[in-house]
Chains A and B, each alone.
Chain A
Amino acid sequence: MQLDMAEVERVCSDLYIRALKILPPDIKDGFKRLVGAETGETAKAVLGVMVENVAVAERTNNILCQDTGIPIYNITIGRNVSFDGAELKAAIRRGCERSTKENSLRSSVVHPITRQNDQTSCGVRVPIVHVDFDEREETVGIEMIPKGSGSENGSFLKMLLPSDGVSAAKRFVIDRVIELGGRVCPPTIVGVGLGGTSDMCMHLAKIAATRPLGTVCSDPEGAKIEAELSKAVNELGVGPQGLGGRSTSFAVHVEIAATHITQNPVAVNIQCHSARRALATITPGGIAFS
């Protein structure tokens, strides 16, 4: 399959606005679970407003949250796909710009030093593009994540020592959730990275934070910690919007990578309740959005 760059541009544009408008089904189900388990009156009212907001966005064809985020595109290239890599990057960027213009999106992206906003949702090295490869025949997956800033500001890395053990990593996660309170728009998905190098660890936390609800860490030890922490955070009483209650998080997700004998890194990246993602799959048969 030869990747058609005009098509990639269009898909990247569509994905941005779709992600901003339609909450993925796993998050909607997550809300149902939290509403069912919540006991606090204020917390129930806050969750009710969030659920209503999802319905209003669909009914009024509006975006869910005003924060259009930092655009991230995760590209997965299958087998027997040919393309020009530089052209692919340019097409993604054009798609992101086009969506911003055509949909009158607020550009939330600025130069880090001058704070100049080009009003395109693009800037130096943004949109963020990750490319990976998999085994699927003639298939390209494009996932778009508009990463909200309130929750992105809830990001932390600590290079713990091996002697600190895994208990220090767990404590680090719990203490960050406490410290963040309502600032990250709970209920959240708490993404935790364990291992790797510093940059890999942070990246793992982002993968974890943006993984669909209901999926489990592929490493059994990671999965165990994930289950433990998922239960523990909802005992803290932070609650939706930090106003108290059980519903602090939909889940804690953990991703791991091997690390150095001298290292024990832990990273935290938070996804807010507006846990937006959109996926397109391109095959010779056409484009499917999900």
Chain B
Amino acid sequence: MAHHVLDMPIDAAKVRELQIGDTVTLRKTLFGIRDATLIHMFDRGRETRLDLDGHAVIHTAPNVRRVDRSEEAPVGYAPFCIGTTTSQRMERFTRQLMEREGVRLIIGKGGMGADTSAAFKDLGGAYLAIVGGAAALETTWIERIEDVDMDDLHPESLWKFRIRDLGPLLVGMDSHGGSLFETVRDDVASRRDAVLASIGAGE
């Protein structure tokens, strides 16, 4: 199990080095997206002026504070609490996000499904699992909010974060069809009947 330090953005070859079970530390830049951002971008054809090519996106809707613009807060927002939301809801957008915007890494919690796995395989991408609900800690990894687009969707805007060593994150899905979530699911499925029998609830 290797550890990778990634200076974002990265290319497809770099992503293909990642294997499930590896750990990753991200540096420099990270984008924040979630439900409304994706619905507007891909169901309603909205374009963004931000360049996501080769970058990582995290499923989030941050708590931010409005502050005066400064070097620390170039768009007048300071991070207050930034965490991660459940990824599964965003499943149907993965391929478009990669094809149209060039996204390489998705960071989230709970894992994603077969369509995402296929897109990772075809286009070169990976899913990095972060510990959901550990937002206070996650916030300490965010240096500043560098930019924001589609802020009419606030807090579900498209966010650009400047990060300091973000991680370690766990490679949950890789570009070779591997998924830790699948492995766990299969293991759980194989235990189900015995567990049910032990409480007199077998079929």
When the two chains form their complex, are residues B131 and A62 in contact, meaning their CB atoms are under 8 A apart?
A: no
Chain A residue at smallest Cβ distance from B84: A66
- In the bound complex, how far is the Cα of B65 from the Cα of A34, in angstroms? 35
| Total chain B interface residues with beta-carbon distance under 8 A | 52
Q: Shortest beta-carbon distance, A160 to chain B, in Å?
A: 12
B200 touches A243 (CB 8 A): no
Q: Which of B2-10, B97-105, B179-187 is the contact stretch?
A: B179-187
CB distance from A257 to the nearest CB of B (A): 21
Closest A residue to B186 using CB positions: A237
Query: Chain B residues near A49 (CB, 8 Å)?
Result: 131, 134, 137
Which A residues, 21 to 47, have Cβ-Cβ distances below 8 Å to chain B? 42, 46
Most chain A beta carbons < 10 A, residue from B82, B183, B188: B188
Interface centre among A53, A235, A274 (most CB of B within 10 A): A53
Q: Does A114 touch B at the CB level, under 8 Å?
A: no
Contact (Cβ within 8 A) A241 B199 = no
Q: Which among B83, B183, B195 has the greatest number of chain A C-beta atoms within 10 A? A: B195
Number of A residues, CB within 8 Å of B: 54
A135 to chain B, nearest CB (A): 37
* B170 interface hit (Cβ, 8 Å): yes
> A66 and B201: CB pair below 8 A?
no
Bound: A115/B138 CA distance, A: 28
Interface pair B136/A62, CB less than 8 Å apart: yes
Residue in contact with B135 in the complex, picked from A65, A107, A243, CB distance below 8 Å: A65
B124 touches A (CB below 8 Å): no
User: Using Cβ atoms and an 8 Å threshold, which residues of chain A touch B131?
Assistant: 46, 49-50, 53, 240-241
Contacts of B192 in A (CB 8 A): 174-175, 178, 236
Chain A residues within an 8 Å CB radius of B62: 66, 106
A63 proximity list for chain B (CB < 8 A)? 63, 81, 135-136
A-B contact pairs, 17 of them (CB 8 A): A53-B133, A53-B134, A65-B135, A67-B133, A67-B135, A104-B65, A150-B109, A167-B201, A174-B192, A182-B132, A185-B133, A232-B196, A237-B184, A238-B184, A238-B188, A240-B131, A242-B111
**14 new A-B contacts at CB < 8 Å, known A66-B63, A66-B85, A181-B184:** A63-B135, A64-B133, A65-B81, A66-B81, A104-B66, A149-B85, A150-B85, A167-B200, A170-B199, A171-B201, A174-B201, A183-B86, A183-B110, A185-B132
Q: Footprint of A on B, CB under 8 Å?
A: 36, 60-66, 80-86, 88, 109-111, 129, 131-140, 155, 170, 172, 180-181, 183-185, 187-189, 191-192, 194-196, 198-203
7 tightest CB-CB pairs across the interface, nearest first?
A66-B83, A57-B136, A53-B134, A170-B201, A183-B110, A106-B63, A66-B135
